[in-house]
Amino acid sequence: MTIDLGPIRTGTESAGDLTIGFREIGDPARQPVVLLHGLGSGAVTWDAFAAALAAAGRWAIALDARGHGASSRPGNYSLELMIGDVLAFLDHRGLGEVDLVGHSMGGSVAQLFAAGHPERVRRLVVEEAAPPPHTVPAGPLPEPPAEPPTPVDYDWRLVGPLFRRFRTPDPAWWSRLASITAPTLVVAGGPASMVSQERIRLLAEAIPDARLVEVAAGHRVHRDAPGAFVEAVLPFLSEDENTPARRPGRSPTGFS
């Protein structure tokens, strides 16, 4: 699929004592769609989908997670900190209710953000991201090496704590999914994915207003099957699109 990327605007915003990198395209007067990438990836990987959103009249904003891209590399990493970064970014930009799309690690951040801040999410898309297993896997879990086996363009220090969080059972994570009030689309990559498709199915069942769609492209659906991803996600995001977005009752130039 070929899409004219058009004028993608890049920059950084303060988020507390961090800097968050972003890439955006589209009309800022329209409903914003915030895009969260996977571990070791970056905002740039959303360019094609962001351009499709802009062509459909939406405002797309892709964020670099802490430790990635143009964002700060503070050395302390967790999903909770990343959730706080998203909230700080939205507050700093004066954005209240947004559509939220997350892939893999970004999908985990997106679902937990929607559970903790339901008033800030109009519609939610979770691509190839499931909570940790319900039970401890047999045998000890391997630890990632202290140094990357090959050079990487992100902060390797984030791999250990996130790896342990994703592989360790966390019943509280599963129970929090019932707090998600936004209509949700769960995108599964099918048998070629490295993520448990059974846990993705259970994720969709645990969210009150969720539907599941499979695009048999493996783990990176939006990158490896961009046309099919647009066909699955764009109509979902367009439902009730004209409903006015809620704005926070605060100044867009400060933090709450």
| Total-model pTM | 0.91
Q: Which domain covers residue 126, as residue numbers? A: 9-132+154-238
Task: Say which CATH number the domain at 169 has.
Answer: 3.40.50.1820
Q: What is the pLDDT of residue 6?
A: 61
Task: Give the integer Cα–Cα distance in Å for 155 and 161.
Answer: 12
Residue 105 has pLDDT above 70, yes or no: yes
CA distances to 15, 43, 109, 156 from 18, rounded to whole Å, are 5, 17, 17, 18
Within a domain: residue 1?
no
Residue carrying the six token digits 């086996």: 149
Amino acid at position 165, single letter? R
- Report H helices in 117-220: 159-167, 171-176, 197-206
Amino acid at position 29, single letter? A
Residue carrying the six token digits 């599964």: 188
24-33 b/e (C-beta count within 10 Å ≥ 16 → b):
bbbeeebbbb
Q: Kindly report the number of other CB atoms within 10 A of residue 61's CB atom.
A: 25
Within a domain: residue 178?
yes
Q: What letter would DSSP give residue 179?
A: G
Q: Kindly report the number of other CB atoms within 10 A of residue 251's CB atom.
A: 10
CB 166 within 8 A of CB 191: no
Percent of the chain scored above 70 by pLDDT? 90
> Sorting pLDDT into bands at 50, 70 and 90, what band is 17?
confident
Within a domain: residue 248?
no
Residue 4 has pLDDT above 50, yes or no: no
Least confident segment among 1-15, 120-134, 135-149, 189-203: 1-15
Within a domain: residue 252?
no
Give the pLDDT confidence of 124-151 residue by residue, as tens digits: 999 999 999 988 776 677 888 989 999 9
Q: Which whole number is the average pLDDT over 15-20? A: 90
**Angle, helix 79-92 to helix 105-116, in steps of 10 degrees:** 70
Residue 252 has pLDDT above 50, yes or no: no
Residue 255 has pLDDT above 90, yes or no: no
Residue 5 has pLDDT above 60, yes or no: no
CB 59 within 8 A of CB 31: yes
Within a domain: residue 256?
no
Within a domain: residue 142?
no
Higher-pLDDT residue of 161 and 247 is: 161
Domains held by the chain: number? 1
Within a domain: residue 50?
yes
Within a domain: residue 2?
no
Give the pLDDT confidence of 71-89 residue by residue, as tens digits: 999 999 999 999 999 999 9
